[in-house]
Amino acid sequence: MAAHTLNIYMLSLGRMHCHIYGRNVHKALNRATYATALSTNNSSPNKGFPDRGSRGPIIRRPRREEGEPRKDRMPVDQDWTAVYPTAAPFRPGSVPLPVRMGFPVKRGVPPEKKGNLELIKIPNFLHLTPTAIKKHCEAMKLFCTEWPSALDTNVKCDEHFPIKIECKDYVSAGTSIRNPSARIVNLRVSICPNYDYAMYLLTVLYHESWKTEAWESEKTVADMEEYSWEDSPSQKNALSTLVRMQIAGEVEGDAVRDKLLGRPEVQEYRESVIRLMNEGESESSILQYREAVKKLLKL
């Protein structure tokens, strides 16, 4: 602490002298100030760490020495499934291959695998070597049955199982491990030679479709495939408009409603609204709607 204050004093003194004596002396004095500045003694036990003053030194546990990386102790005929039994991130010390990955900076080479984040980020298949897959198959055999011996040719398979489902898997390099084309699943049905079986299937489906499940009664307007004018807001609006347009005194009832619905202009209006809703809008459908409304409102 005392040395510290002495330094400051010397520096300020040096600067004052500069003003009086001129530039040459300034240099000499500067050298003098630098010399004194270097002579401080840092007595903290932690090298490289800042002086904590009166709080005391930071005590860290001594770091244990690194052992030899696993790859150096690997025999050639080792069991790789023990190194990578499951999907795990890339460990440079466990993979004995001199892999390099990354951008070669300044026309150099791609960086090595030690401490390489690029290798850790990407998915790896180190846990799926052929040996590993054989082990998986052996384990799964316990749960499988034998392939039927009668189905030994493709022709026989097609005969008994005419419906085939194809799923495709894709391997590609990109930002995502998912490939949207892999979502497409193909279902193939060959009709001949077993036409009878196909007809049997279709008959079954036909009869099944007639059965109404309990949840089908919960179908809402939004679920309907086609627009139906009956019980739609459009029908209600049209009816109420017509009723209001009628001469006052006419009692509204079911008979009046049916009479109104039977009128030709109402039918024309109904057609135009159905066309508008089902086919979508276009100039011609709007004009047809316009003519129908004009007739309805007697304009």
Partner 1 sequence: MTLHRLFPLRLRQTIAQVRLLHGSGCGHQLEEVAMEPELRKETSVFRTQVNDPACQSERHLGQYYTLPTSHLHTIFPHGLPARYQQQVKTFNEGCVMVRQPALELISYLKAADYSKPAVRYLLYGLKGSGKTMSLCHTIHYCSTQGWLVLHIPDAHLWVKNCKELLPSSYHTSRFDQPIEASNWLRNFRTTNERFLSKIKLRQRYTWTKRESTEKGSPLGELVDMGVSRVKSSSDVVGAVLKELRLQAAETEESEGFRLAVAIDGVNSLWGRTTIKKEDKSPVAPEELTLIHNLRKMIDNNWCGGAVIATLSQTGSLYSPSSAYLPKELLGEEGFDSMDPFIPVPVSNYSEKEFESCYLYYLDRHWLQHPHSESHSPQTCILVWSFLIPYFN
Out of 245, 278, 279, 284, which residue is the one contacting partner 1 (CB under 8 A)? 245
Which range touches partner 1 (CB under 8 A), out of 194-202, 206-214, 256-264, 290-298? 290-298
Q: Which amino acid is located at 24 in the chain?
A: N
**Is 238 among the residues that bind partner 1 (CB under 8 A)?**
yes
End-to-end Cα spacing for the chain:
104
Strand partners, 186: 166
As measured in angstroms, the least distance from the Cβ of 161 to partner 1 is 46
In the complex, minimum distance from the CB of residue 273 to partner 1, in angstroms, rounded to a whole number: 8
Q: Is 60 in the site for partner 1 (CB under 8 A)?
A: no
Residues between 86 and 125 that touch partner 1 (CB under 8 A): none
Task: List the one residue from 15, 27, 156, 294 that touches partner 1 (CB under 8 A).
Answer: 294
SS3 157: helix
- How many angstroms separate the CA atoms of 263 and 259, rounded? 7
DSSP assignments along 227-287, one per residue: ---TTSHHHHHHHHHHHHHSPTTPPP-HHHHHHHHHSHHHHHHHHHHHHHHHH---HHHHH
Would you count residue 233 as binding partner 1 (CB under 8 A)? Answer: yes
Q: Of the listed pieces 116-124, 143-151, 211-219, 282-290, which binds partner 1 according to CB under 8 A?
A: 282-290
Q: Is 290 in the site for partner 1 (CB under 8 A)?
A: yes
Q: Does 83 bind partner 1 (CB under 8 A)?
A: no
Q: Is 237 in the site for partner 1 (CB under 8 A)?
A: yes
Q: 3-state DSSP call for residue 100? A: strand
Q: Which residues within the stretch 180-219 sit at the binding site for partner 1 (CB under 8 A)?
A: none
Asked if residues 85 and 127 have their Cβ atoms less than 8 Å apart, the reply is yes
Quick check: 283 binds partner 1 (CB under 8 A)? Answer: yes
**152 vs 252, which CB is nearer to partner 1?**
252
Closest CA to 285 of 297, 273, 298, 270: 273
- The nearest distance, CB 255 to partner 1, in angstroms, is 22
Who contacts 71 (Cβ-Cβ below 8 Å, separation ≥6)?
A: 93, 94, 95, 96
Q: Does 1 bind partner 1 (CB under 8 A)?
A: no
| Per-residue tokens: 158 | 């097609």
Among 46, 179, 241, 284, binds partner 1 (CB under 8 A): 241
> Which residues contact residue 245 at a Cβ distance below 8 angstroms, ignoring those fewer than 6 apart?
297, 298
Among 119, 269, 270, 275, binds partner 1 (CB under 8 A): 269
Q: Residue 249 CB, nearest distance to partner 1 (Å)?
A: 14
Q: Which is nearer to partner 1, 37 or 243 (CB)?
A: 243
Question: What is the DSSP code (8-state) at residue 176?
Answer: -
Number of other CB atoms surrounding residue 242 within 10 Å: 19
Interacting residues toward partner 1 by CB under 8 A: 233-234, 237-238, 241, 244-245, 269, 273, 276, 281-283, 286-287, 289-290, 293-294, 296-299
